[in-house]
Structure 1
Amino acid sequence: MTEDIRRTAGTGFFDSVADVGAKLAEAGYLASTAVATTVFLADRLGKPLLVEGPAGVGKTELAKAVARVGAARLVRLQCYEGIDEARALYEWNHAKQLLRITAGRDESWDEARTDIFGEEFLLTRPLLTAIRGEEPTVLLIDEMDKADLEVEGLLLEVLSDFQVTVPELGTITATRRPFVLLTSNASRELSEALRRRCLFLHLDFPEPELEERIVRLKVPALDEVLAASLVKIVNALRAMELRKPPSVAETVDWARTLLALGADSLDDAVVRESLGVVLKHQDDVLKAARKLTAA
């Protein structure tokens, strides 16, 4: 029964929760037990996974790591204000259709219409591309909270039945379900209809011990003591009321910066000179410099 569930519903990338943790680590992503468990359930049940949390905690990287583990194609729908059906699902190649109609002037309209609404004239966008894929696929719907409510409506059919309806061609159903991961920075509340179709995972900034492990994985040449000091300062920065607290990716960038500078410690001078690596607003840099020096 378990094998039947995995074969018909899920993608079968993982065999267990422990397998998720091990394989993601091999792919360069260190996952907590909670993350590994939710990813396993999404994979086994064939359910979309909604990952919510502040920017820079590894939501998008999680989708990329799953794709690497599954040797899968990563199809990404980057959401933004104003994105519509033509950019998310599909659109018709109107220029090519017009050329076809012009070339076949002697045909009846019924004959031309049948021809121009064929596969040759269909431009697939990320959602339809992922549904039609026959190879292992990870569909990343990134920053869902930036899209309008209308786009959420488009997603409901995809996330419920893994199918897309093209009026001129009919309903296209996935023969091989993609692993679907949606990310949100929670800049607006997503609809209950969308949430109901997904498993939910909240990602926050990692605990210091886990962040140290991430830094040492990504920047193995960095001294262990220096890595611990770096993570301690980053956590102090996140505790301040900054416009943009440093992300995990920026922690890693700072570690690489210290290597490039040949720094063997994080003294006040090194911190002040390199704060721009982790802080992206001048008022944040000034605030942090004052507080860190005072401490």
Structure 2
Amino acid sequence: MDFLAPLLHPTSLLAAAGGGLLICVLIALPTWLVSVAVRDASVADRVWSLFIAAPAVWYVWRLGTDLRTLFMISITLIWAVRLAVYITVRNWGHEEDRRYRDMRQRNDPGFAFKSLYLVFLLQAFLGWVVSLPFLAAAAAEPAAWGPLDTLGAVLATVGVVMETVADAQLSRFRRSPRQKDSVMDTGLWRYSRHPNYFGECCLWWGVGVMALSAAGVSGLWALISPLLMTVLLLKVSGVSLLEKDIGERRPAYRDYIERTSAFIPWPPKRKRSASARA
């Protein structure tokens, strides 16, 4: 009957979940006020990782910790701090991100207020959903470290390392004078057009697997986190959005698309010669 434990004791689970959501809202509101003052809704990107890490820390503090949740929190805090610093440094001194400028144009007049729910509260809610594996793991009855934990830990670690390396490679490329007329296709970017997104996806599947190891079948609901993140990275704010018109802005990118995997790292395709195509 262990798998029924979360259902038999819902009070602490729901209270912790509600507290996590409240924390996300309390992060969103002042950040929104800052965005209105500086007229830059893309400041939301700088706190995105906090929408996930902050409620995760709350769940573990509220419900208890063990070796599993300690690892989950540690790897997530490393990811969150690095990503927040990276995005803040990358965007410092730049105008509002093109994605948010487009959103502003579509929703003016009144975008300053509309951004509260279109951007900040929405991202707060999504971050809260992504944090659910920590709630599942922290609320579960104590369980020994198992093979699923090892698999999840390796997957999460590889994901954080891959995302860090990919971002560093891209940052170095953007500082290069040649970047305006070329495409980043070396290092990890030779094998995937979005290795940073693939790394982040690995992180959340790793964390989700560890939550499943802790909670068993009663924790299957925690897998909504990696599923949601995969959809966001592939279809919403990630690959699809970034590549919507990049081929028009950077003609060299069209060739890059033809030879390079969109997401999962894979050896690039060899470019066929004109005679072979004929």
Tell me the TM-score normalised to structure 1 length: 0.23
Q: Which has the higher helix share?
A: 2
Q: Which has the higher strand share?
A: 1
Tell me the TM-score normalised to structure 2 length: 0.24
Structure with the greater alpha carbon radius of gyration: 1
